[in-house]
Amino acid sequence: MKPVSPWPDAVSERDDAFHEHGGTPGWREELTFDFADPAAELGLIVRLTFDPGRHQADAVINVAFADGGFATVLARAKVERHATTTVDRIALSCAGPARSWRLACKDTALVLPARGPNAERRGVGVPIEMDVVFDAWVDPVGGLRRTKNVDAIGFVQVTSEGRFEQVGRASGSLRIGEHGSTIDAGGSRMRRWGPNLGADAFLRVVFGPALSLVLRAPTLDDPATGWLARGHDVVPVTAVLETTRDGSSVRWLSIAATDPGGERIEVEGAVLAAHPLRDGAARTRQALIRWRRNDRQAWGFGDWPVAG
């Protein structure tokens, strides 16, 4: 059984390419990869955004370290005609639609050390080299809505909006300054496109090919929906989220997810590091989380909107 989608049409491999926007105001397309490696004690998010209305493509790499440190690379380029998956020195290349992508960068990263008590963080520019391949374990999970428009002279234009996600394995290498890491970690990817994408709360818990959980909710205080993957089998789930906070900062999370058969999956997570960011006009917090279920452990990402 495939998860129930708010979009009526199924996605296919062809949707792992850029879509027609039809000049729709506020339309964007985003391609996001995230993975976290306990052995390297870090996690990465790589995101590319194409905004045809502004003829602009943006790319960012955010690296969160378990000690609270943070590194980032930002790139921007004007795109006059066609969308691109290469923005300056950040390159995303598809090796197989809905199957495999390569993420590469050779640039300078701004590195912020862990924030100490009453200490001001000052960034330092250091070289960064990344070469990572993401291989999906499951078919795309999601859907889309297609719209057909016919003008006065009979010209037909089909546009769409939608979203899909996958879990998989990220493997390769990362070097920041003098510190190099071999990456071999579970992770996820999301592709979404359409007008006014907004910022929702996302939680990704990837223990491996045998068990992965992806959830989405308006905020962390709302019930969540999503999907559970066991091997190639994917089922929809609903979930209750609970958090423990220190002021406005989330320190601990628990997930109680239930599949259509009534089976309950419980997961707990400790926030190792969290950083405030912007997603368009929205303010979000991106967190590196250590998840546990019984005697199993996995590191992963969560991100959620914050007020103000």
In a domain, residue 5? The reply is no
Report the mean per-residue pLDDT for the chain: 89
Does residue 60 lie within any of the structural domains?
yes
Average pLDDT score over residue span 275-281: 73
pLDDT attached to residue 199 = 80
Whole-Å CA distances, 286 to 80, 112, 141, 235: 31, 15, 23, 26
For residues 209 and 280, the model is more confident at 209
Query: Looking at this protein, which amino acid is placed at residue 80?
Result: E
The answer to whether residue 70 is domain-embedded is: yes
In a domain, 83, yes or no: yes
Single out the residue of 134, 132, 135, 114 nearest to residue 123, CA to CA.
Answer: 114
Alpha helices (runs of H) in the chain, residue ranges in sequence order: none
SS3 letters across 120-178:
CCCCEEEEEEEEEEEEECCCCEEEEEEEEEECCCCCEEEEEEEEEEEEEEEEEEEEECC
Amino acid at 48: L
Closest CA to 84 of 18, 174, 176, 173: 18
Percentage of the chain beyond pLDDT 70 is 92
Range of the domain at 194: 13-305
Q: Is there a domain that residue 158 lies in?
A: yes
Query: Cβ neighbours of residue 204 under 8 Å, at least 6 residues apart?
Result: 34, 167, 187, 188, 212, 213, 214, 215, 300, 301, 302
What pLDDT band is residue 120 in, cutting at 50, 70 and 90? low
Per-residue pLDDT band for 281 (boundaries 50, 70, 90) equals low
What's the average model confidence in pLDDT over 81-106? 93
Kindly report the pTM of this predicted structure.
0.91
How many domains would you assign to the chain? 1
Place 1 in a pLDDT band, splitting at 50, 70 and 90. very low
Q: Is residue 4 part of a domain?
A: no
Instruction: Answer whether residue 236 is part of any domain.
Output: yes
User: First vs last Cα of the chain: how many Å apart?
Assistant: 40
Whether 177 shows a pLDDT value over 80: the answer reads yes
Neighbouring C-beta atoms of residue 43, cutoff 10 Å: 26
pLDDT given for residue 125 in this prediction: 94
Average pLDDT of the residues in 253-278: 92
**Cα distance between residue 15 and residue 252, in whole Å:** 36
pLDDT tens sequence across 12-44: 899 999 988 877 888 899 999 999 999 999 999
CA torsion through residues 283, 108, 172, 98, sign: positive
Q: Is residue 1 one of the residues assigned to a domain?
A: no
